[in-house]
Structure formats: C-alpha cells, structure tokens
Amino acid sequence: MDKKALATTYLKLLATSVFWGGTYTAGRIVVQHVGPYSASFFRFAIASVLLVLVTWRMEGGIPALKKGQLLPVFVLGMTGVFAYNAFFLNGIKLVEAGRTSMIVAGNPVFIALFSAWFFKERLTVLKLVGIFISILGAMVVISRGHLIHVFTGGVGRGELMIVGCLFCWVIYSLVGKTLMHDLKPLPSVMYSVLVGTVALSIPALMEGVTTQCLSFTLQDWICLAYLGVFGTVFGFVWFYEGIKKIGPTRAGLFINFVPISAVIIAYCILGEGLSGSLLLGAALVIAGVYLTNRKPSARPVIS
C-alpha cells in the first residue's frame, strides 16, 4: 500500500473513532425517552436504507451471497448489530457514557489476543504485559476503583452489559476478517446490518415501537440519525476497510481513540464528571493498548 492510501486509511479510522465516541452520548440521550430495542431498530433501519443505496451505487448492484458466506453474515448481524446494540443501549441507560466507553476500550486487546489464537498473529511478551495492564484498567473502571467487587459480585448490571458489548465486537471483527477474503467491506456491512435489523425488529415490536415512534422528540430523531449515519454507515464501512488493508490488530488500535473522544463529548454535552477511578482506569487501558499494538523486537511467545 502506498503512503497516500495508508494515510487515507488512517484518517478514516481516526474519524471512525470520533464518530463512535459520539455514539455514547447520542445513545445516552436517546435511551432516556426511547426503548433500547426501538432505538436500536431505528438506528439500523436508517443505516440499512443508506447502505443498500450506497452499495448499489458503488458496487454497480447488490452482490449475491455465496452459500459459504451465509453463516458468517448471519453471525456478523447477530453479534455486531443485534447483540452488541442490545447490550449497548440497555447498558448505557445505567452507566455513564464516559465510563461505558472506557470499558469498551479493551476491544483492541481482546482482538489482538484472539487474532493470535485464530489467525496465528504474533503475540509477544510485551503484548501479554499490555493485555494484563489493559484488563486491569477495565476492571478498575468497571468496579469504580473497588477491584474486590469484580470477584464478589458487586459489579452492576449495566457494567456487565457493556462487557457483553466488548466480546460481541471482538467476534464481529474477527469473523469479518474471515468473510472479507471473499466479500468486500461494503457488502459485508450491508448484509450484516440487514440481518441485525430484522432480528432487532422482533424485540422492538414487543417493546411497542409502532406507538413509541409517535412520541419521539426532534432530539431523539437527531440522535438516531447520528447513530445510523455516522455511528453505523461511515463507522462500520471505514473500520472494515481498515481491517482489510492493515489487519484487525492495527485497525483495532484506533479504537483507543474512541474513549478519549467519548469522554470529551460526554463532558461537553452531558456534563459528566471525571472521577479518579475513571482516569486511573483510562490510563491503564490506554497504556495496555499501546503496549499490545507496539511493534516489539522480542521473539514471539505464541505464533
């Protein structure tokens, strides 16, 4: 890849991290008035329409899925769209936007760990240290500085749901890497979003989405549009392009910027404070992510 193309990829991934940072504030706002499944459904219904139109134009039509692609696309839709957002919007109703983002910031570490397992990517002593530090930081954030609570059941339901988001996204990233050997990023995202939207329609209907939508405020619709357009269409497509061009571990590094932008946006818009446990956990998570993704000279311990 030439320098210009590489720089463009990095800029897109950086913009994606900012877009995703904003989803925590948008999600926190919208779930105060809209049911979590209804909000998720509208987010991806908006995204589905745009993705179909964009795919049609950029690909010259809608590419048909091969038989072997059906299961991976279904898994992508059920993990990265359905399950992730069920966890996300239920969890963020109970946990502050900034704190939520710090828990999810552990994504690159787990992507690196499972990439080593499934794709035989190098995992060195330095990366193992980074993984430990980042997990420790996530535990500090989750427990609000009381680590013993992690082992005694003192962690709240909201925090556990956000941890569920983390693992859903790891699966989504790794399955996506496998799928994109045969299917381009844009159709991959489009099909996974369509699957997830259909799946989300069922709990949304049970939640009363058809009557809820009549009472949505302008602010609700703006937040849903942001989640659908910037948090999904641009975010998913550009992140998948990054995975394809520079690999899941290096692309995952840019998720490190998500909590930073999320905390800043939440502070500016929601007025959320910065506690000691949040700042300490953030420092540990960021340090761990840096070590995990730093190119070392040491020999790999797992290959």
The answer to whether 164 and 87 are in contact (CB under 8 A) is: yes
pLDDT score at 91: 86
What is d(CA 89, CA 207) in angstroms, rounded to the nearest whole number?
14
The answer to whether 86 and 36 are in contact (CB under 8 A) is: yes
pLDDT score at 301: 42
The answer to whether 56 and 300 are in contact (CB under 8 A) is: no
What is d(CA 74, CA 180) in angstroms, rounded to the nearest whole number?
14
What is d(CA 129, CA 133) in angstroms, rounded to the nearest whole number?
6
pTM of the model: 0.74
Residue 200 class from Cβ within 10 Å (0-12 exposed, 13-18 middle, 19+ buried)?
A: buried
| pLDDT tens readout for residues 235-283 | 878 887 887 788 766 776 677 677 778 888 888 898 877 677 777 777 8
The residues of the chain scoring below 70 in pLDDT are: 1, 105-109, 116-123, 138, 142-155, 179-181, 248-249, 252-253, 256, 274, 289, 292-303
Which residue ranges make up each domain of the chain? 13-293
The answer to whether 235 and 13 are in contact (CB under 8 A) is: no
pLDDT score at 143: 66
| pLDDT tens readout for residues 13-47 | 989 989 988 998 999 999 888 888 999 999 999 99
The answer to whether 111 and 295 are in contact (CB under 8 A) is: no
